Amino acid sequence: MKHIEALIADGGSISIGALDELECVAAASDAHNSLAMLVRRDGETLAALLKRLDKAVGRFYADGDVIDEVNSQSD
């Protein structure tokens, strides 16, 4: 979880929990940006979700790509 550790060391944060109608969301942000918002998949373990979040944070640091599964949800 090196990317999450670096984010937190730099004053960023992560959160995990319910969001509106979504049962479980993992989010990472720094002081200015949302870096990633991931929706927990059916059958996905919490450990697997955190691993995906770490990869998403790493992708933001490498390429500036924000992964937003929350706002891209279809109704």
Say if 63 falls within a structural domain. Answer: yes
Residue 17's beta-bridge partner residues? 25
Q: Could you count the other beta carbons within 10 Å of the beta carbon of residue 29?
A: 16
Average pLDDT per consecutive 10 residues, the chain (75 residues; last block may be shorter): 97 97 97 96 97 98 96 70
Residue with the two structure tokens 């969301």: 25
Range of the structural domain that residue 55 is part of: 2-68
Q: Answer whether residue 49 is part of any domain.
A: yes
Asked if the structure places residue 40 within a domain, the reply is yes
SS3 16: strand
Cα–Cα distance for residue pair 59/53, rounded to 1 Å: 10
Give me the pLDDT at residue 32, please: 92
Beta-bridge partners for 39: 25
> Of 15, 35, 30, 22, which is closest to residue 70 (Cα–Cα)?
22
In a domain, 20, yes or no: yes
Number of domains into which the chain is organized: 1
73 assigned to some structural domain:
no
Query: What's residue 42's pLDDT?
Result: 96
- Give the per-residue pLDDT at 74: 56
58 φ, ψ to 5°? -60, -40
Position 74 in a domain: no
Does the residue 75 lie in any domain?
Answer: no
